[in-house]
Amino acid sequence: MKKTLQNTTFLTSATKSSQFPRDEGKEVAFVGRSNSGKSSLINKICRQNSLARVSKVPGRTQAINFFNITDNLRLVDLPGYGFARVPKKVKNQWGVLINSYLENRASLKSVVVVMDIRHPAKLMDQQLLEWCKHHNLPTHVILTKIDKLKKSDAKNKELQVTQDLAEMQLSSIHQFSAITGDGVSKLCKILENCLY
């Protein structure tokens, strides 16, 4: 799977549902709060530096970005929710776009919810997880930026998140660092199980 991910290419950006690729094959969507590290995570697992656009400014991803692994397998990077330095009208448009994708996309097989381990399980994260649970959609939580904490603190945070989200029926919770590469193998295995 790692070698396949290395061949991932940008497919298209969509700012409205009519621009989505044909709804066939399988997709895994990456969602999370603005600046949680989704783009860095995608770049790391695909072993590419600039496949997904990375910025220190929250809200840089303003469209749904589709990436081809193979012709029928895709990764999907959704705009971040929550705090973002964009006008309210743009935020509202994101909400409509994200809802349209999550509710209607038949090829969506799993959701990866990306959370900064220092600020996990905020209200909007929990609302998204509730939605996934309601729709019986396999959901994985990835706690990013673990390099910002001591290992013992990161482990304690993970245990706390596991307890806080116990009722969400999550498929898994894992730690990840785009800096050190910790968690890459586990995440690649998750994607393999979701897409094959």
Task: Mark residue 193 as left, alpha or beta (left: phi above 0; alpha: psi -120 to 50; beta: remaining).
Answer: alpha
Q: Domain 2-195, what fold?
A: Rossmann fold (3.40.50)
Sequence spans of domains, the chain: 2-195
Quote the radius of gyration of the chain (alpha carbons, Å).
15
The model's pTM is 0.90
Q: Which pLDDT score is estimated for 58?
A: 47
Q: What angle do CA 27, 121, 151 make, to 5 degrees?
A: 95
The tokens describing 116, both together, are 């900064």
Of 168, 163, 173, 167, the C-alpha closest to 141 is: 173
User: What stretches of the chain show up as alpha helix (H) in DSSP?
Assistant: 2-6, 38-45, 88-104, 123-134, 151-164, 184-195
pLDDT tens per residue across all 196 residues of the chain: 767 899 999 999 998 899 999 999 999 999 999 889 999 999 999 999 989 877 554 444 578 999 999 989 999 999 887 654 545 554 455 577 888 899 899 999 999 999 999 999 998 899 889 989 988 999 999 999 999 999 999 999 999 999 999 999 999 999 999 999 999 999 999 999 999 8
